Structure 1
Amino acid sequence: MDTNGRRNDVINALQGYLTILNDILRNQKMTWKALPESRAELDFYRQAIALSPDVFQKHGKYDKLMEQLDSMPRLKRAIDENDTDWLIDNFAEFTEWRNELDKSVEARARHYTSNLVKLGFADSARQITAVGDVLLDNVLIHKDVIESLLPLNNTNIIYLRQLFKLRIFDNNAERYYSPFCMALYALLTKPRISQDEFCEIIQGLSPYHNIADYDTFINEYKKDDIIQTYSFAVPAEINNTNAINDDVFSKIFTNQKSKNAIIVYQKFYKALYAFRTKQDTSTLNELLTVYEDNKPMLNKAFGYGSNIFKNKRGNRPTSSDFLKKEKLDLFTGQLNTAFYLRFARSKTIDTIREYSDTTMRIFKATGLISFDNGFVELVCRDLCECIFDKETIKNHIFGTISNEIINDISDYEESWDSYYCSNHSIITIMEYSETAVDKILLAVQSEFDGAEIEDIPQIIKQRRKTDFDLFIDKTYPETRVKTLLSMFSDRSNDGKIKEEVYPDATVPTIYEYIVGLAWYYFSNKRIDLLNSFNLTLSANFEPLTHAGGGMGDIVIYEEKQVIMLEATLMNANSQKRGEWEPVLRHSVNLKIDEESSTNREVTTFFIADSFDFNTINIWKAISSVPLQSSSDKDKYTDNVIIMPINNDELSKLMDRKNEYNSIIQQVRKLFLKDITSFDKDWREKFISTVIS
């Protein structure tokens, strides 16, 4: 993954970036190029910082460029009007401004969207792929029989499919390594793995590794073992017993983030060299002083992230006592070799840990892998053991691509219509035969006491619901939910909210989540909140992304009624522009759907901190007029109820849990008492009398 612009809420970011691409390339019909050929990259960055103001709090270089642009009205007009002809003819006059734009803005747009390419949601030209369209809800996802058994939503399934297809290739684009298949195999082999060890295994392996016995490798793996599988050639100019001179040292022991670090490394090396030469009190004291003064930096660079020396800070032992206790490679054999290998290995481990952070967040999006309290486990392990055959998974960890359909890497992943960018279900990806699928289904039935296959998803859902309800009771008691709900009134609390709930999610996503929890308590825990959420959760029930644009935030299906909750953090001034249309569309479509099937009563509650006066009165007024479906123009409904409730009111409703149904019925009576007969053809009838 490209770490430039890395965010905790990576799943939300990917979805947001894909939405922006959809607008720029499809709605605005631009091509993904930089100025002067296209303003697509500039527009992407503009929309990205507008979409996530809590993430992009500082963008001084962009602001300065826009200020400068205001002083160049002709250039500004050409950019605003997307006048590429003028821009191509005249852009050379603005070289300095253009170079800074490319470096500080357009390059960032390319970096941010590159991860969409790496996950197959877009191609290198940033054209949205078939997989990307499914993630955007532009195309329906069709789950196979195995996917239907898993307690996962559509977003979870999409990430699961893409990670199964993901291949890391060698330099010849021939042999590959599948990190997710390795992850799944490891967790099927060893039910609970240390997070550090898990990440080192998954992130540390490459297409160049060969594992003779997978089970032994996994079961016997210990932290930092992966670095022993890497070979490093000691540079010839230091492969001797001579002290390394300053110029050679600074060339080999580099640090791209800090020039001062190289000075510290050199100071540490010289202190080591002096102690190795004399081994007296003076040189030992100097060595320990240099180490203690720069301990975090030196541990990271030469200790694999752990303490290099066991000696306690301030303690000054004799040289002989120190050497007896510190039996290190730095004090035996050739110093230059040991020093370099420690540096190379520590750098490798540091890189593995840096990239593992994003890997874990991506894995969480599958909803199958739990990261909790420093350990990693599979969710629904009994089901996974039936569905994912270990031998099949093992055969996909390392391999080469060559079959009748896919000949090379270009067929596999590089083009818009490649295998990686196309929709394939797990049965296809894992190459399960009909016989294998039948065997899997029989194993699943056996695991669930012979239940019918079509009933098993519901059994699993019920189990997950029970686990979720226990999680809520333990982690989010009523008092905590009330406290969190009150914090959203002040947006300066955003950082605290993320820290309290889940740093990987955006604050609007967390708000939907907390609103759902509050409603759960208001209903006296009677609702199935887990299956009512349209946001995406991790395997640990943590919020990852908010609901897609085609559905309500939370839709609660009960025997005789359907309750939809629409939650927004938009302030009163923004609500008309940002919420009026989608809330109304969701409410109308849901009511029409219910009228054509179950005929349950549908009531929408619009939850926000404060309200726009006109909006709440419009909600009341529309209940008396007929409204048209946005998906089927031949269908209409009336008596659409959208009741605004603010955070403080929702908090107080939690204390009225015994009146849940009564209060909802009071809301309905409030809206329905003013209903009058309304002629939906009133305009046409009037116009026909005027224009005959």
Structure 2
Amino acid sequence: MEYKKIPYTSFMWKLGTTSFRTKEFNYKTERQLALLDAFWKNPDNASQGWEKKYMAPGQNDIYEIKVRYYDYLVDNGFMEGGEPWSRKYKTAREKTSGLYDMGLINENHRLTEAGRYLLELSTSLRYNEKTPIGISMDSMLYLEQLLKLSQKINGQTVRPLIVILYLLSRLDYLSHNEFCYLMPLCTDWHSTEHIISLTHRLRNREVTINQVITEVMMSKSNYAEGLRRFANMPFSEEMLLSVSMNRKSAAYDRSYVTLYKEMHSVYMEGDTSRIIPMFDSLKKFQQSISIKWKTMLFKSPVAARVKNNPEGNLRPLPVSATYTEKDFNAFFFVTMHLFKAKATLEDYQDLNKRYLGLTNCFIFDDKQVKLDIVPKHLFASPIDELYKQAYRKCHLLERKTSLAEICETLVFNEKDIIDGVSSELGTDIQTIEEAFDEVDKIRYDRFNKMIDTHFQNNTLLTLLDAFDKRNDANINRIVTDNADVPTIFEYVLGIIWYKVSGRRGKILDYLKLSLDANLLPVTHAAGGEADIVWEYPAVPAYPGHSLLLEATLTDKTNQRRMEMEPVSRHLGNHLLRTGNTNSYCVFVTTNLNVNVISDFMNRKNSLYCCPTNPDKYVEGMKIIPLSTRDLKEIIRQGIRYEDLYRHFETAYEANERHPQKWYDNYVCITGTDQAAISMKP
């Protein structure tokens, strides 16, 4: 019997596409805008269109320009090449899809007004400037664009960020399960209110996540129709494939036919000889779906254990699932689509986090997702007016707009921020400066907590080993994949020095890095200052001074070329600007080149002149070279900055002329206890 296939229709929104699940999200976005801008300026490309409707008579085939752009990305080191022609144009489309969704490029893939603004921020290094609400300039642009971004779900418009803000205004926070499985199901006013109601019940343990997803999914007409057919019609392969609703092709769902037959044999016919074949049938599913079935059907997901004791590892189905054939079929249909839905929702969770992370407004801690304190109170008052737009398309997406242009009530009101922060923290705040001081205290509390939980000494030692071996995958896993490894090296050095300094000093200001809302580093396309500038007020152990920390990851062959001149220039300019000759620099790397050591050692006896006024100069500069081996000893011994300062001063005053002997005998951190550092010559 032939069955008309029930079509798949989306029941969820998502941010981005899984085909562009990229590391270093900020960097890749800014870098690709610059590449696209340059690509279209090439006369050979300038008159070309991206989509067919833009192709003038006589122009190249629609696919050729995409292939040409693919090759351009490869030639400029944006990605690795090697794909066949038939795949190149698809990859080019995938790489640009996120830029188009956010309104940074138009349908013809030229930069929009919003895209040009972001590119200007990147190239001028203005992205890190702060806005009134405390987020960076580029984060504000992303916030504005995501507020305008909309999607079509079954013919209905939804603007996901506005929905998220509304959910948080009603629920205060989202657990990670709520964020992953429930938030994207809010596709219209009715479903959003229903999800809010179900979330309250979920938190009261009246329902489960599976029950909520199932209820929402089965309320859709196509799933309801599929359930009626599968529960009431005789089973056949054709019938199952007609209701499997695969987004690509029903052929991808043939594995469910085998699984159904094996489950029917085991649970409805009592044939225990089919337990192992039932387990083996799950090998054909993608891992995220396979493990869900294994968890439901077996006590252990390990094949050897199941095969050693099939009946002992078999879990029973709910009693209600095996009363009749109709009950079994209904249970199978619902479970099949529940697990598919959960796998899809899980697949997009990471992307949703990445896109929201661009705004620097959301905090993703170990248990919850919530708004940072100032954005929370920025949106508190206007949320009802803003929510009226949640299911309407915004026609301002490609323009650079202010928040007030998106929603006239969405303005920065100092009184609202002051009152909101004061109320939330239980303090008497009178000015916006006091409000941000309190917010700053919260940031440092969060930063210190993160160090205590995620950057303990053992973890820092593991990271330093990974930097030495350039185990980039492990570094990204431990810290973040939204920054490149050299940026993470600077960040980790900052954390180590914060500990060395007794957690004194404004490290979040001293780090010349972009940090996201979770206080983790972010890489930008145009780069920025490489220094960490630490300010030390005068104490009995040392005079007031600045310490410039320079971190680099280079091999022995290119270290001299890359680092000697910038380090001395940074310190020289700093000394000329501040006039404080007590300030100095510590240079940290994985491999110390002897000639780099020599150059830094001999800066003690050289002049550094102002480039525009040679009569203005500093006489002698203190630059101390350290290796990651030294950092490891500093961590292991728990050495304090007071002792390091004395140690560095002794090394600086030493008269040794051979650079390697100077480093080995005066600079290198050795010994087994803290006292050892003060026992050097």
TM superposition score normalised by structure 2: 0.71
Which residue of structure 1 aligns with residue 97 of structure 2?
A: 114
Distance 1:258 1:371, change over 3 A: farther
Which residue of structure 2 aligns with residue 43 of structure 1?
A: 72
Distance 1:637 1:180, change over 3 A: farther
| Residue 482 of structure 1 pairs with residue 497 of structure 2 | no
Distance in 1 of aligned mates of 2:144 and 2:502? 37
Mapping of residues 609-624 of structure 1, within 5 Å? 609-612=590-593, 624=607
Which residue of structure 1 aligns with residue 450 of structure 2?
A: 471
| Residue 508 of structure 1 pairs with residue 494 of structure 2 | no
| Residue 527 of structure 1 pairs with residue 505 of structure 2 | yes
Letter in 2 for 1:376: Q
Task: Kindly state the Cα deviation for residue 156 of structure 1 after the two structures are TM-superposed.
Answer: 4.5
Distance in 1 of aligned mates of 2:230 and 2:497? 68
Task: Kindly state the Cα deviation for residue 356 of structure 1 after the two structures are TM-superposed.
Answer: 1.2
Sequence identity, in percent? 20
Aligned-residue RMSD, C-alpha: 4.7
Query: What do residues 143-182 of structure 1 show as CA deviations (whole Å, max 9, x unaligned)?
Result: 88xx5354x445554444443333334576xx63232333
- Equivalent residues of 1:181, 1:396 under 8 A apart: yes
| Residue 378 of structure 1 pairs with residue 352 of structure 2 | no
Which residue of structure 2 aligns with residue 226 of structure 1?
A: 213
3-state SS in 2 of match to 1:136: helix
Task: Kindly state the Cα deviation for residue 359 of structure 1 after the two structures are TM-superposed.
Answer: 1.0
Which runs of 5 or more residues in structure 1 are unaligned? 51-55, 63-99, 402-407, 674-692
Which residue of structure 1 aligns with residue 17 of structure 2?
A: 2
1:186 aligned to which of 167, 189, 197: 167
Letter in 1 for 2:445: T
Distance in 1 of aligned mates of 2:44 and 2:598? 38
2:255 aligned to which of 240, 261, 264: 264
Equivalent residues, number: 591
Distance 1:369 1:400, change over 3 A: closer
3-state SS in 1 of match to 2:550: strand
Q: Which deviates more from structure 2 when the two are superposed, residues 215-224 or residues 613-622?
A: 613-622
- Equivalent residues of 2:512, 2:528 under 8 A apart: no
- Equivalent residues of 2:186, 2:195 under 8 A apart: no
2:321 aligned to which of 319, 328, 334: 328
- Equivalent residues of 2:360, 2:516 under 8 A apart: yes
Letter in 2 for 1:108: T
Letter in 2 for 1:486: D
Task: Kindly state the Cα deviation for residue 329 of structure 1 after the two structures are TM-superposed.
Answer: 8.1
Distance in 1 of aligned mates of 2:145 and 2:614? 38
2:350 aligned to which of 345, 353, 357: 357
3-state SS in 1 of match to 2:626: strand
Letter in 2 for 1:127: L
Which residue of structure 1 aligns with residue 387 of structure 2?
A: 396
Letter in 1 for 2:279: E
1:163 aligned to which of 131, 143, 146: 146
Task: Kindly state the Cα deviation for residue 665 of structure 1 after the two structures are TM-superposed.
Answer: 5.4
Which residue of structure 1 aligns with residue 118 of structure 2?
A: 132
Letter in 2 for 1:6: R
Mapping of residues 7-406 of structure 1, within 5 Å? 7-18=22-33, 20-21=35-36, 39-48=68-77, 61=82, 100=84, 102-105=85-88, 107-124=90-107, 125-127=109-111, 129-133=115-119, 136-138=122-124, 140=126, 147-150=131-134, 152-154=135-137, 156-170=139-153, 176-207=157-188, 210-212=191-193, 215-221=196-202, 222-224=208-210, 225-230=212-217, 231=220, 232-233=222-223, 234=225, 241-246=232-237, 249=240, 253=244, 262-272=253-263, 279-282=268-271, 285=272, 288-295=275-282, 297=285, 307-309=295-297, 314=309, 316=311, 325-328=318-321, 331=324, 333=326, 339-373=332-366, 375-378=367-370, 380-381=372-373, 383-389=374-380, 392=383, 395-396=386-387, 399=390, 401=392
Distance 1:657 1:258, change over 3 A: farther
3-state SS in 1 of match to 2:209: coil
Query: What do residues 300-357 of structure 1 show as CA deviations (whole Å, max 9, x unaligned)?
Result: 659976844478865649x9x967x432389563766654454344323321211112
Which residue of structure 2 aligns with residue 431 of structure 1?
A: 408
Task: Kindly state the Cα deviation for residue 520 of structure 1 after the two structures are TM-superposed.
Answer: 2.0
TM superposition score normalised by structure 1: 0.70
Which residue of structure 1 aligns with residue 530 of structure 2?
A: 552
Distance 1:171 1:612, change over 3 A: farther
3-state SS in 2 of match to 1:531: helix
Mapping of residues 621-632 of structure 1, within 5 Å? 624-628=607-611
Task: Kindly state the Cα deviation for residue 4 of structure 1 after the two structures are TM-superposed.
Answer: 1.9
3-state SS in 1 of match to 2:468: coil
Task: Kindly state the Cα deviation for residue 461 of structure 1 after the two structures are TM-superposed.
Answer: 1.4
- Equivalent residues of 2:227, 2:333 under 8 A apart: no
Distance 1:212 1:364, change over 3 A: closer
Query: What do residues 364-408 of structure 1 show as CA deviations (whole Å, max 9, x unaligned)?
Result: 4444433333x2143654x5553321661574375355xxxxxx6
3-state SS in 1 of match to 2:527: coil
3-state SS in 1 of match to 2:448: helix
| Residue 461 of structure 1 pairs with residue 440 of structure 2 | yes
Query: What do residues 571-612 of structure 1 show as CA deviations (whole Å, max 9, x unaligned)?
Result: 2333466556765675566556x44xx868654433211245
- Equivalent residues of 2:69, 2:92 under 8 A apart: no
